[in-house]
Structure 1
Amino acid sequence: MEKYYDFARIEPQMQSFWKEEGIYKFDPNRKGPIYSIDTPPPTVSGSLHIGHLFSFTQAEIIARYHRMQGENVFYPFGFDDNGLPTERLVERETGVRAADLPRSEFIEKCSETAEKYEAQFRAFWESLGFSVDWDTQYRTVSPEVQKISQSLFLELVRDGRAYMKESPVLWCTECRTSIAQAELETTETETTFNYLPFVCEEKTLEVATTRPELLFGCVCLFVHPDDARYRDFVGKTARVPLYNFDIPILTDDKVAPDKGTGVVMCATFGDSTDAAWYTEHNLPYRRVLLPDGKIAPDVPYISGLRVKAARAEILRRLDESGLLLRTECISHTIAVHERCGHPVEILPSRQWYIDILSEKERFLRAADEIRWYPPQMKSRYTAWVENLKWDWCISRQRYFGVPFPVWYCADCGKPVFAAPEQLPLNPIETPYTGKCDCGCTKFVPETAVFDTWATSSITPQINERLGLDLVPMSMRTHAHEIIRTWTFYTIVRSLYHTGKLPWRDLMICGFVLAKPGEKMSKSKGNALDPERLIAQHSADVLRYWTAGARLGTDTFFSPAELDAPKRFITKLWNAAKFVFARLEGFDPKTAEATLPADCWLLARCDDATRRAQALLDAYEIGAARKEIDELFWKDFCDNALELLKDRLYKPERHGEANTKSAQAALYGAFLRILKLYAIYVPHITEYLYQPYFRQFEDEKSIHLLCWETPGAPDGKLLAFGETLKETLAAVRKYKTENGLSMKAALPLLELPAGEFEPWLRETERDLLACTGAEKIRYR
């Protein structure tokens, strides 16, 4: 073996070997139960970051684990390349807005960009040694997936679960599209409460508002029905300051009497409460804001301005007119779009929805039937479902996505739908040739596309395109920030389409932070390029690091965190050099471990395997790795190798039988250790398997071997091993405290008499050689 492990040469070599030999090729007819993984298709929204490396590698370790338990692992990968994230990426890279280009030209740019990034993404996963069958890859914008997505949409329409309506909708004026509740984030901002005089029968009602630019959109004032201060005003009208039109004064128990003055201005639309009141009280709509974020042209004083400028101008005019009674600075929570960070507005619009509000209890029950890892993540899902206020808006006013297979009658506006045999279909390119119920034969195509989540929420159904009956799949994995989107939406779609849960287990990963509370981002200058990290430190080093965190918890990263993984790789390499040198010419079929120390080592391997399996079955890859580390570093390297060394170096002294026993233990233990570590560091373990172990084992790759399935632990052998370790530790401590070399001789080694005395006597030669003791006495 080479003196040092050359990862830059070996890792690509192992990846080529796996590819050429089809090691990870999925064969549905292979023996063993299918273990299927619903992998998150990474969004084509920019470069990969270390968070991708962290969470995706944790899941890949689980895929390797189940493969080495004899299961037939179905581990597909896809790319979520349609929709707003890809469009925003193209807009950033080109500096051109989608609306400024012909639709076809912008879609072409999106397609080219998606293909470029997907090639980079795939190369990245391959460089990490992912055990993926790339023949199962899918793209959410591909014709095949578009057909599945459109077909399932039509199924929802037939079942009455998908519907179209004109109503207030969450709207991003920056992205110029409708959005869903799940795409909202909240942020604290400094603003002002502005107190304005609304006049009712010559009496002034002070109203505090943070949205004075919406004065023209006022449709009423609300007070609490039990607020005695305003009882005499209810049912009357008030005059809107500056604009001088009258609006009614109504009651609603959602008004907080202790907030502001207790009188609330309802404008269409300042927030979600305004939108709810609009529907509940059948209020009129007064347009102020346009979809592009500008004030409508018929709004006096502020037409054509954007929101912030309009607010400043209207406050100036109110102040000049003596209508700004006072202002208060406050810290205010506002909703922003997660994609761009811009404040979200509410505008009336015709959109497509999936009904979710009527089935909230069903979705909550589903959470009880899924196994959550870690369990506390279930509470995030439950809180989200309990607080849903809107049905799921699935239409987006963008270009690059899966088209709605819908047209509208030019006369009555009734929607008509594509036939199943027409799918996939773009209604802009394919005219509708039928006749509406009203007799009209002219139709207008729907130009909106599906929200990207509307397609990525059906990944279990996309995975079944290969003819497999997978639902419920074995496991879904992703980071905790998309529980409210990907987890929830997929549960919704699976229950609606199949009546089944989408998966049995949920593996929820954490984030990678630069330091406590600080996400890594390019804007903060703390983002690290994962591809460069792999080139500098190796894929196995990065993989080993990812397994250091407890599942679901956020972890911190700096390059210094890789020092320990690199020491581990060096230790494993050096241990292998020792093992292979001592096993030269040894045939494991001709010998077995017979001496107590050798049997203990194999029993300890069984024990570590058993412990690791229990943890990995609960997706605790970090805790499982620590169990394996304990076996390798302490039991194998620190103790077993020291005990067996003399028999391995001096066979003539110990006899052939005892030497072969040591070699059998060495062979069995190190192969088991390599198999245990193979799920974490696949490249180095494969490289160490090939030159020696492969000639004696049945499989051409270590990754096709199975872990042992140990029975009940041999408590006596394990306890005997603890006695051996305690003895060696006591000798080391004595020599250290007395300034002696570890090779220094000792006149006497005392061992405990008791149930282990017969085994200790069989181990005396090993102990004498290992400790430097001249004789042993039992006490």
Structure 2
Amino acid sequence: MQKNYDFKQVEKEMQNFWKENSIYRFDMDSQNKIYSIDTPPPTVSGSLHIGHIFSYTQAEMIARFKRMQGFNVFYPFGFDDNGLPTERLVEKDEGIIAKNLPRSEFITKCITTTERYEKEFKDLWQSLGFSVDWSLQYETINPMVQRISQKSFIRLLEDGKAYMKESPVLWCTECQTSIAQAELETIDKDTTFNYIEFKVDGEKLMVATTRPELLYGCVCLFVNPDDDRYKEYVGKSAIVPLYNYPIPILSDEKVSIEKGTGVVMCATFGDSTDVKWYETHNLPYRKVILSDGTIDESVPFIGGLKVIAARKQIIKLLSDNGMLIDSKNITHTVAVHERCGKEIEIIPSKQWYIDILSNKELFLKAADKINWYPAYMKNRYTLWVENLKWDWCISRQRYFGVPIPIWYCKQCSKVILASEEMLPINPLETNPNKPCSCGCNEFISESSVFDTWATSSVTPQINGKWREENDISSKLLPMSMRTQAHEIIRTWAFYTIVKSLYHTGEIPWKDIMICGFVLAKKGEKISKSKSNSELSPSVLIEKHSADVIRYWAASSKLGTDTFFSIEELGIAKRFITKLWNASKFAISHLHDIDLGADIDLMPVDRWIIERCKQTVFEVTRLLNQYEIGSARHEVDDFFWKDMCDNYLEIVKERLYQPEKRGYKERQSAQHALYYCMLNILKLYAIYVPHITEYIYQEFFRRIEDNISLHKSCWENVAFIDNEIIVFGDQLKAVIAETRKYKSENALSMKTEIDEVIIKSDTRFVEMFRQTICDIKACCSANGIKIIS
């Protein structure tokens, strides 16, 4: 082995070796138990950053671990390349606005852009040494996926779980599309609480509101039935200021007696409570805000203005007319669209929905059947389901997405479903294959597309090629594990559970592994949308190596957020150097090893082998719980402290001077060294696959049967000799005390000392006697005295 490790040469060489030998290909004919992974298809919405590396690499380590446990690993990769996030990327990259281009031209630009980014993504994952079977790759816009997505919708519609209705819907005026509850984020925003004077029977009634621009849409005032101040007003009419039309005063328990004046304005629509009152009390609708965020032209005083400008204008008019009694600055929580950060509105619109509200109990019970790692993440899911207020709106008024396979009869307005044989289909380009039941042959095409989550929620079905010619769902579903970040529990995890239960009656996967975020500074996530991801992963890999980045990615406990800084990579670099040097030392003493020799192992050699077994056992246990970071720390502890700091120092003389110490004694050390170094490589293989494979190929491949280290299996440890491990602990204590004595007396570690006195339990006296020569050599001691 060369003196220094050259990662630039080795990593590319190993990646080519894996590819040429199909090391990670899923074997459809294997009899081994399948371990299938539902990997999040990264959204094509910009370049990847170190946060993506962190979470995706942790999951990739589990794929490697399971493969080395003897599983037939199904590890695909996909790209979520349709929908609003991709459209916004294309608009930004191209400097265009989608609505200003012909639909077909914009879609062409989307396809070109996604292909470029997907190549960049794939190159990055491959440069990290991901053990993905790339023959299983999919894109959410490709024909097979479109077909499965459309098929899913048709089945749900036929089962009565999908429906269309015109009703108030969450709407983003920036993206100009409907959105789902899961796409909302809340932020704190400074605004004013405006105290406005309504009139009841000629007398003043004060109402406080943060949205005076909706005065024209005011359809009712509400008070709490237990509020004694306003009981006499219930049933009367109030006059809306500036617009002078009457509205009823009603009571409802949802009104907070303490907030504002205790009288609440219900407008169509200020928030979800307004929607609930509108439906519950059968209130009329008054149009104010349009889909583009402007006020309808028919609204006096503010028609045509944007919301903020309209708010300022109404406040001025109220003030000028003596109707604004007070105004207080407050900070309140508002809902914004997670994609663009714009405050959402609620407007009536005809949309397609999936019924989720009527099956909340079903979704909660499903969570109990899934193993959550970490376990506390299940609570986030439960809270989300319990607090759902809206059915899942799956239609979007956008361009680059999976088309909704629907037409409407021009004569009778009946919904016409595409037949499954026609899928995938774009109703804007194709007509139904038969007339409507009323005999009409003219149709109106549905122009909306599916929300991107409506498609990515069927990734288990995509992986299983659900109801396709080469369907392998029966082999894969439910999948073994889903990996994802905690921020999309409410979307990807929840929606996938919904679709799986509706289509198969089963949970989508047995385990769910929830990864944390990488933070740029305290409390701030690194993301594409923030200017805090300057450190390009490709540059980091080029400069520091893939294995160094991977080792760093396995630093923390599962589900916890971590910080990233270049300085932290220094630990990983020191480790790579240590592993290289330790392996080089070991191999230099193993060229003449006879693994078939009949050898009585010396106590120190028995100890290091048992410690190795103990480490394999504990690391296996942790990785079966997806604790990648804790498992790596266990391996580190064994490698650095027991193997390098102690064992290699103890057996050096035996290895270098067999003529002095004996050839059988050297063979004993060789066997322990071979066993431990091979198993250390196996343990570290999931974390740093390139250097471990290279070392394996340099020496161990000549002796071992497996073509690749990553095709070999970890030892199935059934028994650990705890007695010899306790002996090893006492031996380490002897060496540590000797080193401490020399350090405190400013002596070199090589300085000879007269005698080391060992106080030992009776049961270890003989082991210490057999180890006297090793202790003498390691401690540079002239004599060893053992006291029972």
Shared fold (TM-score greater than 0.5)? yes
The aligned counterpart of 1:296 is 296
* Inter-partner Cα distance in structure 2 for 1:40 and 1:286: 43
617-626 or 249-258, which moves further after superposition? Answer: 249-258
The answer as to whether partners of 1:520 and 1:527 remain within 8 angstroms in 2 is no
Residue type matched to 1:777 in 2? K
Cα offset for 1:593? 6.1
The aligned counterpart of 1:664 is 671
The aligned counterpart of 1:695 is 702
The aligned counterpart of 1:760 is 768
Cα offset for 1:170? 0.2
* Inter-partner Cα distance in structure 1 for 2:328 and 2:768: 83
* Inter-partner Cα distance in structure 1 for 2:698 and 2:547: 19
The answer as to whether partners of 2:214 and 2:288 remain within 8 angstroms in 1 is yes
- The answer for unaligned runs of 5 or more in structure 1 is none
Give the 3 Å change call, closer, same or farther, for CA 524–139 of structure 1 in structure 2: closer
* Inter-partner Cα distance in structure 2 for 1:247 and 1:285: 12
Query: What TM-score comes out, normalization by structure 1 length?
Result: 0.98
Cα offset for 1:524? 4.2
Q: After the TM superposition, which residues 163-202 of structure 1 pair with which residues of structure 2 at under 5 Å, given as runs? A: 163-202=163-202
SS of corresponding position for 1:778: strand
Q: After the TM superposition, which residues 77-156 of structure 1 pair with which residues of structure 2 at under 5 Å, given as runs? A: 77-156=77-156
- Asked whether 1:507 is paired with 2:504, we answer no
The aligned counterpart of 1:588 is 595
* Inter-partner Cα distance in structure 2 for 1:564 and 1:273: 53
Aligned residues: 779
* Inter-partner Cα distance in structure 1 for 2:730 and 2:433: 85
The aligned counterpart of 1:350 is 350
SS of corresponding position for 2:483: strand
* Inter-partner Cα distance in structure 1 for 2:451 and 2:532: 31
Give the 3 Å change call, closer, same or farther, for CA 156–597 of structure 1 in structure 2: same
Cα offset for 1:591? 5.7
The answer as to whether partners of 1:61 and 1:679 remain within 8 angstroms in 2 is yes
- Asked whether 1:654 is paired with 2:658, we answer no
Cα offset for 1:36? 0.6
The aligned counterpart of 2:471 is 467
Residue type matched to 1:487 in 2? A
| Aligned residues with identical type, % of pairs | 61
* Inter-partner Cα distance in structure 2 for 1:191 and 1:264: 17
Cα offset for 1:751? 2.1
* Inter-partner Cα distance in structure 2 for 1:589 and 1:116: 55
Query: What TM-score comes out, normalization by structure 2 length?
Result: 0.97
The aligned counterpart of 2:422 is 422
* Inter-partner Cα distance in structure 1 for 2:599 and 2:525: 53
Cα offset for 1:438? 4.4
SS of corresponding position for 2:276: helix
The answer as to whether partners of 2:43 and 2:80 remain within 8 angstroms in 1 is yes
- Asked whether 1:543 is paired with 2:550, we answer yes
The aligned counterpart of 1:52 is 52
Q: After the TM superposition, which residues 18-37 of structure 1 pair with which residues of structure 2 at under 5 Å, given as runs? A: 18-37=18-37
Give the 3 Å change call, closer, same or farther, for CA 121–513 of structure 1 in structure 2: same
The answer as to whether partners of 1:551 and 1:619 remain within 8 angstroms in 2 is yes
Give the 3 Å change call, closer, same or farther, for CA 591–396 of structure 1 in structure 2: farther
Q: After the TM superposition, which residues 696-711 of structure 1 pair with which residues of structure 2 at under 5 Å, given as runs? A: 696-711=703-718
* Inter-partner Cα distance in structure 2 for 1:299 and 1:524: 40
* Inter-partner Cα distance in structure 2 for 1:474 and 1:274: 43
* Inter-partner Cα distance in structure 2 for 1:594 and 1:237: 97
Cα offset for 1:276? 1.1
- CA deviation string 1:84-141 (max 9, x = no partner): 1100111111221111111101111111111111100000000110000000000011
Cα offset for 1:405? 0.5
758-767 or 171-180, which moves further after superposition? Answer: 758-767
Root-mean-square deviation (Å): 1.3
The aligned counterpart of 2:561 is 554
The aligned counterpart of 1:517 is 523
586-595 or 294-303, which moves further after superposition? Answer: 586-595
The aligned counterpart of 1:313 is 313
- The answer for unaligned runs of 5 or more in structure 2 is none
* Inter-partner Cα distance in structure 2 for 1:190 and 1:339: 21
405-414 or 209-218, which moves further after superposition? Answer: 405-414
SS of corresponding position for 1:120: helix
The answer as to whether partners of 1:458 and 1:490 remain within 8 angstroms in 2 is yes
Residue type matched to 1:763 in 2? T
480-489 or 750-759, which moves further after superposition? Answer: 750-759
Residue type matched to 2:139 in 1? R
* Inter-partner Cα distance in structure 2 for 1:152 and 1:526: 37
Among 492, 495, 498, the residue aligned to 1:489: 495
* Inter-partner Cα distance in structure 2 for 1:592 and 1:354: 69
The answer as to whether partners of 1:541 and 1:565 remain within 8 angstroms in 2 is yes
SS of corresponding position for 2:171: strand
Cα offset for 1:435? 3.5
Which structure 1 residue ranges, 4+ long, deviate > 6 Å from structure 2? none
The answer as to whether partners of 2:599 and 2:664 remain within 8 angstroms in 1 is no
Among 567, 573, 584, the residue aligned to 2:580: 573
* Inter-partner Cα distance in structure 1 for 2:365 and 2:712: 39
SS of corresponding position for 2:596: helix
The aligned counterpart of 1:384 is 384
The aligned counterpart of 1:777 is 785
SS of corresponding position for 1:325: strand
Cα offset for 1:266? 1.0
- CA deviation string 1:306-339 (max 9, x = no partner): 1111111111122122221211111111000000
The aligned counterpart of 1:717 is 724
* Inter-partner Cα distance in structure 2 for 1:578 and 1:720: 26
- Asked whether 1:731 is paired with 2:735, we answer no
Residue type matched to 1:7 in 2? F
The aligned counterpart of 1:158 is 158
* Inter-partner Cα distance in structure 2 for 1:219 and 1:489: 35
- CA deviation string 1:701-743 (max 9, x = no partner): 1000000111121011111111221111111111111111111
The answer as to whether partners of 2:49 and 2:533 remain within 8 angstroms in 1 is no
Give the 3 Å change call, closer, same or farther, for CA 520–593 of structure 1 in structure 2: farther
* Inter-partner Cα distance in structure 2 for 1:433 and 1:68: 52
Give the 3 Å change call, closer, same or farther, for CA 571–143 of structure 1 in structure 2: same
* Inter-partner Cα distance in structure 1 for 2:50 and 2:151: 36
- Asked whether 1:498 is paired with 2:504, we answer yes
The aligned counterpart of 2:280 is 280
